[in-house]
Structure 1
Amino acid sequence: MSAASKAMYKPLSIATGVLGGLVASAAFGQVWKRLGNDKEVPDPKDLKKSTTEVLAAAALQGLIFGLVRAAIDRVGARGYKAVTHENPT
């Protein structure tokens, strides 16, 4: 990958990272509304919530964020390759 190509890919990478975070946050909120007892995600410092509920929410959030961000990064990389015919790595 040339220096010019790297310079072009960097803003795309940042934009897809931000987009991935926003989409993942929205997706997690929707999933938690359907699965959780409460509509709000439990705060780890709220001792009224059970440890199981707090840890389950954190694990689910990590899973969703990882999957969504990886999927969006992958789509961005494929789109970049389709346009430039270069691998973004």
Structure 2
Amino acid sequence: MAETKHEEPASTSAKILYRPFGIVSSMAGGLIASAVFKQVYKRVVKGDKPNAPGPLQSEYNLRQILVAAAIQGVIYSVVKAAIDRGGARTFQKWTGEWPGS
């Protein structure tokens, strides 16, 4: 059975120092997720409209809008989790402290 590693609670200074780092990495993650989503959507949904539909675009049916939203949600969640975790690990390597709670 794998042993669970318990992290020490982050100090207040680690949390404060991590904020700008976390904000920048989140912004980068959003840009990356957006680019990945556009490419995935083009390949998954064949047709004459390469851009994903928005919820208020009447030319798309509800199924198309929900499929696009589901794909986008999964991609954003996975990219955000990967970037947040990688950023926290990098912060820990640089400072010796885990930035989380």
Work out whether the TM-score is over 0.5. yes
Q: Which moved more, 1:56-65 or 1:40-49?
A: 40-49
Which one-letter code corresponds to 1:16 in the other structure? S
Which one-letter code corresponds to 2:54 in the other structure? D
The reply to whether residue 80 of structure 1 matches residue 80 of structure 2 is no
Is the contact made by 2:37 and 2:75 (CA closer than 8 Å) also made in structure 1? yes
**Structure 2: distance between partners of 1:61 and 1:41:** 9
- Structure 1 runs (4+) greater than 6 angstroms displaced: none
Name the structure where helix makes up a greater proportion of residues.
Answer: 1
Unmatched runs of 5 consecutive residues or more in structure 1: none
Task: Give the CA deviation at 1:4.
Answer: 2.7
The C-alpha deviation readout for 1:29-73, integer Å capped at 9, x for no partner, is 110111123201112212221211110000110110010011001
Q: Which moved more, 1:29-38 or 1:12-21?
A: 29-38
Indicate the structure (1 or 2) with the bigger Cα radius of gyration. Answer: 2
The reply to whether residue 21 of structure 1 matches residue 30 of structure 2 is yes
**Aligned Cα RMSD in Å?**
1.2
Is the contact made by 2:14 and 2:98 (CA closer than 8 Å) also made in structure 1? no
* Length-normalised TM-score, structure 2: 0.81
Q: Which moved more, 1:32-41 or 1:67-76?
A: 32-41
Unmatched runs of 5 consecutive residues or more in structure 2: 1-9
The size of the alignment, in residue pairs, is 89
Structure 2 partner of 1:60: 71
- Percent identical across equivalent pairs? 42
